[in-house]
Amino acid sequence: MKPKRLHNEQWPVPRSREVGLFTDLTLYAEALALAQEYGAVTVSLLQRDLGQRMQKMRLVLRQSERTVERLMRELRYFDWLKPRSGSAEKLTIAPHMITPEGQQAFTLSRKDARAFRRLLTVKMQQVYVIPGWFIARLWQINPEGQGEVILPDPLDDWQPSSRDWNDTTWNETLHTQTLVAAQQARKASLNAFPIRDEDWLSAVQRAWNRLSNLKPRSQRKRGPASYSPRTRLALAMREASVGLLFDRIPYEADEPDFPGNRPPIYPRTFMGWCPRLEALEMIFYTDWHPQVAGRLLFPTSVFRPTAPEERFEPLEEIRHPNGNSFWLHQPKWNIMRISFLSTLISVHQQQAMRSGALYVSLLDVRDEVCRQLRLSSLCFDRFLEQVVRELPISDFPWSVAIETDIREEQSGGAGQLRRPVYLRGVPHTLIALAHLPQDSEVKEGSVL
Amino acid sequence: MTSSNPLLRRSQPLPVVENPYTRFGLTQNPFPDSPTIVPGSDDPRRNGEIYCADLREIEEAQFERLLIPRVEQPEPRPIALLMDYATRRGRGIGKTAFINHQRERIMKDLGGELTGGAYVLLAAHLIPESGGRTRKFWQFTRLVAYALNEGRCIAWAIWRLRAGQIPREVLAQVDPQNPEPTLGDDHWLEQQGVNIMFDLNPSVERTLIHAGVRPEIARSLAHHGHAADAWGHQFLSHQTDYRWRREGDHLVFNDLVRLFQAADINKTLLLVDEVEKIVVPQNRQERRIFVDDLRRFFVDGPFQSVYARFYGLLLTIHPYIQELWTPHWKAAGLDRVCAISGGTALEYTIYFRPLDVEEEVAVPLVLAYLDYFRPSPDQHGQLQPFHQESVVEALRLSGGVPGPMLTLLRLVLERAVREGWDTINANQVRAIYESAVPTEPPDEEEWEPLPPTQVDLSEEG
């Protein structure tokens, strides 16, 4: 039986729920730089002058007006920009100046990207409350599995043909696919989807019916519209799982996490928060794990009273309502070296056996290594750079090769939005590890 | 020693054993073991030779209405669609057999019967290559050229040109239903006193050049076009991808059209099967370009094929392809030529639906196969060893899709031989259906639990 929580353990009401859905955190620093340079910035000026950038593997030439508006709004919430005195308050047209606090943040972004990330984490917590609450909720959903959660998707081998838009029947196949997806999630990780089948079925069916009542986007065009049952079921499953797992009242609990009736997170904002929290090194998530149909996510941080500092980094400004401190799992290389190398090698071997090739997807390897070691993707990048520098070495006589080839699944569609592994700023996608014969030349000793 | 030496050992004649199907009055198991039609195969169960045309009368009438020119309808559609409305029930609805049958109907008398003798037609069956090897239009053009050659369309044109230039007494010896062994054989013609090298071929070449075929192509066609293998070997196989990209359209949409026109052929139908092999591997831009090129080369581009409305194109699609193509199709303006969606699509589409599960459908289809393998015509029309309800049940279990139904009946007949059944009833068909299609076991690898984590963020210390 789950312990009953007290009302005073509730999280505060967020100052704002209007979170931008952009996920590139460098936009904050670049907007501050422009405000510093020009003295004041407007939405249109930012839209014009924010540089083109790679969003994962997709080139974004220009930010949309909506994105820049949201960015500006957040910078105001963070007290890093303020409207120029005497100018109109309206966000979209008012010139905004950088504040002294914004100048400090900008200076920090130039000097220390990691410290700037931490500052952003604190600011987001102060404004939205979601970051800390989200970590606490993950741990609450699956405490035995260290917060590991799976949001199921239909299995890959279910590829139905399209249906007429008006054919919205909830049939036996959809029923079966919904159940099988949940079973697969539980099979992959025992408590990662702790929802009863009847609740899951009814929530997915409700979401399916809601989506089925929407008008087709292409209604303006002539001819009958159609839809992909797989895509619609996947959307319904995502809506249902977010609703069940991340509602203001935890699943099968009585007490809400927040005062009021509004849900803390919607399916749409959930999709924005995951990459943000991942970039802030609070969670790791992947939609591509070969053994999971759906989104696998887990925290790379924890609320606890104390933690060893060689493995954890505290963020004192974030606290659980029960008083526990917030700790990011940021182990030092000398602590993690052996377990990182051995996990990397074993995961590579498993992937190589499955695919029958020595070169395997570095992204798949990264996802599983991070899962086993509860590392953020930035930590993985950092540690892999160490591995490339060190191997082969006497206690690990393995050679490593990292390649930058763009794999087919990354060249288009959703695959472009999968975060690559960066080594010295260059995206890498393939890895091979080979055991060297005993008499091969290896570097002496280990670099600690 | 010779019997065990692998360099010298010869295969032995099969011992004479009793044919297990004889007791059913059959020479062998009449139902196909292959899920697809292979037009070039020798096996009548696989090459589409056994065909029950009555089951697709509606589709056949629509095919004729859309694509076959007649005196009362001299300008059929330049593009039409064959829509598979049973993809959810699996393959085997009979599209390929239907297309193959239509091609054979046309080629047996060059459309004489179909057009009431008014037009001379040819038809070629195009099966795109998989793996994205037909996603560019120049690759499709190359496929057209190969299909026209291998489908004997080019050879027929050359045979017709040759027929006009050889002595009457030699022509009298040619079988008009099958001129390949005579007009298609230089050696035979020489034996009849025709001077191939200095008389017939140069004459055909001059005719082609006069018709506007480029001299290089005219020469190649005149010398080798009468034999599909020879032209494939001497000309097509020498064309590089670079050349197909640069000049393939000129060959297919100008030179070959002029060849056909010189041979007084009015129209050629290109019956394209499995269009998904073209469309699915294409990216968005390639889809747009491909559809634009369809319009250019079949509807309004500066090509002889367009001026003469020479090619008729039938594209075999299913709803997913319709979904992928619709925006590009409309953007290219092809909707006014051949609506791919919307109400007017009915005017351009042959809808291929599952068969009705009824006795009048199941029995003729099964009889078409059984009759072919009855040793005596007296036995034709007998369903033995099947009970009537058993074949209807097989069609029902197969969702009205003939391919899976025939496969099921093959398995049933094999079981009947093995277990010594004299007759086959519906229960036996059902029992085999249930055992023949077991539920696929879950992939163990995919269902493995994730390995345990190596780190515990909540542990003390």
Question: Mind giving me the DSSP string for B331-380?
Answer: HTTGGGTS-SSSGGGGGTEEEE-PPP-SHHHHHHHHHHHHHHT-SSGGGT
Q: Which of A21-35, A311-325, B61-75, B258-272 has the lowest mean pLDDT?
A: A21-35
State whether B397 and B259 are in the same domain. no
pLDDT reported for residue A6: 47
Tell me whether residue B251 is in a domain: yes
- Over residues A381-397, the mean pLDDT reads 87
In chain B, which residue's Cα lies nearest the Cα of A327? B457
Would you state the pLDDT for residue A391?
81
Answer yes or no: is pLDDT of A219 > 80. no
Contact A184 B447 (CB under 8 A): yes
Q: Which residue has the tokens 């999971």?
A: A292
Are B317 and B404 in the same domain?
no
So what's the pLDDT on residue A88? Answer: 59
A220 band by pLDDT with thresholds 50, 70 and 90? very low
B152 within domain boundaries: yes
* One-letter amino acid for residue B363 of the chain: V
pLDDT at residue number A446: 42
Q: Average pLDDT in the A30-34 region? A: 90
Residue B409 lies in a domain: yes
- When pLDDT is averaged across residues A68-76 and rounded to a whole number, the result is 89
CB-based contact, B457 to chain A, within 8 Å: yes
Mean pLDDT of A348-376: 90
- The pLDDT value recorded for residue A347 is 94
Residue type at position B417: V
Q: Measure the CA–CA gap between A311 and A329, rounded to whole angstroms.
A: 6
Mean pLDDT score, A405-426: 76
Rounded to an integer, what distance in angstroms lies between the CA atom of residue B149 and that of residue B231?
Answer: 8
Q: What is the mean pLDDT of chain A?
A: 86
Residues of A in contact with B88 (CB under 8 A): 160-161
The yes-or-no verdict on residue A437 having pLDDT over 90 is no
Of B352, B369, B392, which residue is a domain's last?
B352
Residues B28 and B112 in one domain: no
Whether A189 and B449 lie within 8 Å, measured CB to CB = yes
Predicted local distance difference test score (pLDDT) of residue B93:
81
Q: B169 touching A, CB under 8 A? A: no
Is B27 a member of any domain? yes
The confidence band for A8, taking pLDDT boundaries of 50, 70 and 90, is low
**End-to-end Cα, chain A, rounded Å:** 46
Q: Considering only the beta carbons, identify the residue of B327, B446, B455 that sits closest to A373.
A: B455
**Closest approach of chain B CAs to the CA of A307, in angstroms?**
7
Low-confidence ranges of chain B (pLDDT < 70): 1-3, 35, 86-91, 435-447, 461
What pLDDT sits at residue A272?
87
Q: Do B157 and B93 lie in a common domain? A: yes
Q: Is the pLDDT of residue A448 over 50?
A: no
pLDDT at residue B126, as a whole number: 95
B412 and B427 inside one domain: yes
CA distance B52 to chain A (A): 28
Quick check: A162 and B319 CB within 8 A?
A: yes
CA quadruple B158, B164, B165, B169: dihedral sign: positive
| Cross-chain residue pair A374–B446, CB shorter than 8 Å | no
How many CB pairs below 8 A link A and B? 76
Claim to verify: residue B240 and residue B170 sit in the same structural domain: yes
Q: What is the pLDDT of residue B124?
A: 96
Model pTM score = 0.55
pLDDT at A440 over 60: no
Domain end (from B315, B333, B352) = B352
User: A98 vs chain B: nearest CA distance in angstroms?
Assistant: 39
- ipTM score above 0.90: no
Asked if B454 has any chain A CB less than 8 Å from its own CB, the reply is yes
Distance from CA of B442 to the nearest CA of A (A): 10
> Does A131 score more than 90 pLDDT?
yes
Alpha-carbon distances of B128 from A86, B276, B392, rounded to whole Å: 69, 9, 34
Shortest Cα distance from B286 to chain A (angstroms)? 14
Whether residue A85 has pLDDT greater than 80: no
- Both B65 and B161 in one domain: the answer is yes
d(CA A349, CA A370): 16
Residues of A in contact with B281 (CB under 8 A): none
Give the up-direction half-sphere exposure of residue B3: CA atoms within 13 A in the CB hemisphere. Answer: 1
pLDDT in tens, A245-277: 999 899 988 888 888 888 888 888 888 899 999
Return the residue matching tokens 């008083």. Answer: A323
| Residue that terminates a domain, selected from B326, B352, B378 | B352
Mean pLDDT to the nearest integer, A406-431: 79
What is the rounded average pLDDT of the residues A50-63? 75
A→B interface, C-beta within 8 Å? 139, 143, 146, 148, 160-162, 184, 187-190, 221-224, 226, 290-292, 299-302, 304, 308, 327, 329, 339, 343, 354, 368, 371-374, 412
CB contact under 8 A, A339 and B326: no
How many separate domains does chain B show? 2
Residue of B nearest to A187 (CA): B449
A339 interaction partners in chain B (CB closer than 8 Å): 454-455
Task: Tell me the pLDDT band of A4, cut-offs 50, 70 and 90.
Answer: very low
* Whole-number pLDDT of residue B345: 85
In a domain, B43, yes or no: no
Q: Is residue B13 part of a domain?
A: no
Same domain, B307 and B265: yes
Per-residue model confidence (pLDDT) at position B350: 92
Would you list the DSSP string of B381-419? T--TTB-HHHHHHHHHHTTT-HHHHHHHHHHHHHHHHHH
What pLDDT is stored for residue A378 in this prediction? 94
Query: Does the beta-carbon distance from A372 to B446 stay under 8 Å?
Result: no
pLDDT score recorded for residue A426: 87
Domain-located, residue B448: no
Are residue B313 and residue B202 in the same domain, yes or no? yes
Average pLDDT estimate for A340-357: 89
Strand order in the sheet with A301-304: A301-304, A325-329, A312-319
The reported pLDDT for the residue numbered A134 is 95
Under the banding of pLDDT at 50, 70 and 90, the label for residue A222 is: low
Q: Same domain for B174 and B224? A: yes
Whether B283 and chain A come into contact, CB under 8 Å, resolves to: yes
Structural domain harbouring B365: 22-37+356-436
Residues of A in contact with B320 (CB under 8 A): 161-162
Do B345 and B416 lie in one domain? The reply is no
B328 and B428 inside one domain: no
Residue B1 included in any domain: no
